Amino acid sequence: MHRGHKGQKANLTPEQRADKAAKKMAKKLSLSAAQTTQVRQLHLARIQEMQAHKGQAGTTSAPAEKKQHHAAMKAGKQRYEAQLKQILSAEQYAKYTQMQAERMQKRKAHRQNMASPQQGKS
d(CA 4, CA 70) in angstroms, rounded, equals 27
Q: Residue 32 is which amino acid?
A: S
Each residue's pLDDT, cut to its tens digit, for the chain (122 residues) gives: 444 455 566 689 999 999 999 999 999 999 999 999 999 999 999 999 888 877 766 666 678 887 887 888 899 999 999 999 999 999 999 999 999 999 999 999 988 888 876 554 44
pTM, full prediction? 0.76
CA 34 to chain centre: 21
Question: So what's the pLDDT on residue 13?
Answer: 92
DSSP structure class, residue 117: P
